[in-house]
């Protein structure tokens, strides 16, 4: 995974014109919308850098990258930045079936399970170390009604002039009360040329496969090592399916051990992109069945074995 500094540089390279707008924004809340992994979080962090920078701004109004505030943000430890995201696990440690940002993220007294180390109200009670406290809500569509209502009071009269930056994939799923109080900007995928330039700016070699897989989404570049591993695993697994039943089952076992639900499903579909439509459709159905089984806490080992068998059938190897 790239560093916070790399992500900030990518945000400037890929979304400079948007930073021109956010740099002069004087309101209390921004709402950044766009597809998954398009770079909304890196852009939000670049906005936080802008509003705390004490140096000379760049051509797009981006933060200088050199002042104490910029150095703290690049190091991933800025005292004036709070990131709030949906809880990822249940109290028993299993993956949460339904994403939710509960009231406990906002009020410490309501965080019975201790899921959040820092709470919004607590965070905003303290004066900024640099210029402005910034709260990034990554997944505004997952705000519970109670949490959203509590945040509305803060948005309307933010302590110490704090800034809220809400991120969402689907604007229609964001509560209207949040939308109506926020200035909205749409974050769109970048061109392949811009993605290649972003790789170059990070000191990385050209990578046609990574750029093709990214399809303009900056978040893919930020996770390039993880993505490469997922693509390699998907290709190895798919190739093993045609060798023989035992080889396919062994490959399924390896895939299970390295399975990353954030990247492997997409990596598999990318690997299958050249298959005939009817085979690709059947492979997608098998993958959806695997994901459903894993989400329902079925036996992972058995689920991957069934997945391999279904795929062999879908691809005509059975």
For the stretch 259-272, pLDDT in tens is 999 999 999 999 99
E-strand spans in the chain? 29-33, 81-84, 134-138, 163-168, 183-186
**CA gap 58, 61 in Å, rounded:** 5
Work out the average pLDDT over 299-312. 96
Contact criterion met (CB below 8 Å) for 279 and 287:
no
Q: Which CA distances in Å does 316 have to 56, 244, 259, 307?
A: 61, 12, 24, 14
CA distances to 55, 146, 171, 266 from 259, in Å: 43, 35, 30, 12
pLDDT of residue 88: 60
Instruction: State the Cα–Cα distance between residues 17 and 62, nearest whole angstrom.
Output: 10
Residues 102-110 have a mean pLDDT of 92
Q: What is the mean pLDDT of the chain?
A: 91
- Using one digit for the tens of pLDDT, what is the confidence trace for 7-66? 777 788 888 889 999 998 989 999 999 999 999 999 999 999 999 999 988 888 899 989
Q: For residues 183 and 27, is the Cβ–Cβ distance under 8 A?
A: yes
CA distance 24 to 97: 39
Residue 287 has pLDDT above 90, yes or no: yes
**Hey, CA dihedral for 32, 33, 36, 38, is it positive or negative?**
negative
pLDDT band, very low/low/confident/very high, at 177 (cuts 50, 70, 90): very high
| The pLDDT of residue 93 is above 60 | no
Instruction: Tell me the β-bridge partners of 134.
Output: 81, 163
Q: What integer is the mean pLDDT of 155-182? A: 94
Just give the CATH number of 4-191.
Answer: 3.40.50.300
- Res. 80: pLDDT tops 50: yes
* Buried/exposed code over 191-202 (b: 16+ C-beta within 10 A; e: otherwise): eeebbbebbeeb
Q: Per-domain residue ranges for the chain?
A: 4-191, 223-314
Mean pLDDT of 132-158: 94
Please report, rounded to a whole number, the percentage of residues in the chain having pLDDT higher than 90. Answer: 73
> What pTM value is reported for the model?
0.84
């Amino acid at each position: 995974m790239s560093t916070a500094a790399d992500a900030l540089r990518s945000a400037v390279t890929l979304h400079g014109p948007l930073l021109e707008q956010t740099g002069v924004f004087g309101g209390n809340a921004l709402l950044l919308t766009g597809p998954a992994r398009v770079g909304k979080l890196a852009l939000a962090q670049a906005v936080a850098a802008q509003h705390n920078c004490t140096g000379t701004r760049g051509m797009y109004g981006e933060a200088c990258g050199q002042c104490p505030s910029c150095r703290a943000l690049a190091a991933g430890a800025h005292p004036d930045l709070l990131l709030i995201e949906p809880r990822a696990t249940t109290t028993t440690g299993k993956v949460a079936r339904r994403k939710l940002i509960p009231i406990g993220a906002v009020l410490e007294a309501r965080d019975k399970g201790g899921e959040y180390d820092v709470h919004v109200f607590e965070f905003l009670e303290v004066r900024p170390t640099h210029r402005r406290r910034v709260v990034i809500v990554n997944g505004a569509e997952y705000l519970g009604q109670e949490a959203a209502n509590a945040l509305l009071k803060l948005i309307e009269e933010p302590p110490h002039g704090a800034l809220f930056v809400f991120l969402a994939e689907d604007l229609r799923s964001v509560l209207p009360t949040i939308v109506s109080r926020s200035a909205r900007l749409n974050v769109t995928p970048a061109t392949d040329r811009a993605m290649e330039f972003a790789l170059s700016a990070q000191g990385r070699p050209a990578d046609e496969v990574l750029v093709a897989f990214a399809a303009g989404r900056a978040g893919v570049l930020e996770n390039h090592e993880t993505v490469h591993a997922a693509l390699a695993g998907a290709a190895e697994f798919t190739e093993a399916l045609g060798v023989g039943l035992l080889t396919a089952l062994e490959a399924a076992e390896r895939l299970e051990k390295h399975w990353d639900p954030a990247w492997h499903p997409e990596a598999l579909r990318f690997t299958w992109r050249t298959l005939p439509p009817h085979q690709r459709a059947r492979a997608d159905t098998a993958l959806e069945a695997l994901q459903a089984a894993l989400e329902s806490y079925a036996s992972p080992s058995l689920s991957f074995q069934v997945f391999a068998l279904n795929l062999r059938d879908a691809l005509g190897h059975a």
